Amino acid sequence: MAKEGRGFYDTNVLVAYLFREEDRFGIAKEVLEKHVVKALSIISLHEIHMYSIRFGVEDKFIEVKESLHKLFRVEPLSQDVCVKASYLRKSYGVPEVDSLILATAVFLEYNYFYTFDDDFKKLNNKIIEKTMVRYLA
C-alpha cells in the first residue's frame, strides 16, 4: 500500500489502537498505517496518560511514552494555534480541547485529521484550509 501525505491523529485514534478497543482497533490500525509522517498534539500525550491511569496501566504508558515520541511528531501548542482554535470553535462549533487539537493539524497544514469523536461528525470529509477531516464512524 502506497503511503499518503501527512496524517494527524486525535487522541481517541491512539487510544483505540493502544488499548485495543474491540470495535475501533482495526480502523485505527488502518489509518495509522496510511502515512509516513504521523503526528499528534501534545494534548494527546496528556489524555493518553489519563486513560492509562483509568485502565490501571500507567506503568506501561510510561514505558511506551518515549516510543510515541519516535513514532509520532508531537506537535506543541502555540499562540497561533490557540488563535486558530478560537476561529474553529466559533466557525464550526468544535469544543474547546477538540478545537485546539484540530487547530494544530490545520495550522501546520497536515493533509488529514482522523478522529472517532462525534463532535467532528458534521465535519466528515470537509477540508478546512488544507486539512481534510476524517470522522471514523
| pLDDT at residue 59, as a whole number | 81
Pairwise CA distance, residues 117 & 115, whole Å = 5
Looking at the structure of the chain, the number of domains it has is 1
Dump pLDDT digits (tens) for 74-92: 999 999 999 999 999 999 9
Q: Please state the pTM of the whole predicted model.
A: 0.91
| pLDDT at residue 3, as a whole number | 67
Dump pLDDT digits (tens) for 92-116: 999 999 999 999 999 999 999 999 9
Could you tell me the CATH number of the domain that includes residue 115?
3.40.50.1010
| Entry field: residues in the chain | 137
Give the structural domain span for 62: 4-135
Pairwise CA distance, residues 48 & 56, whole Å = 12
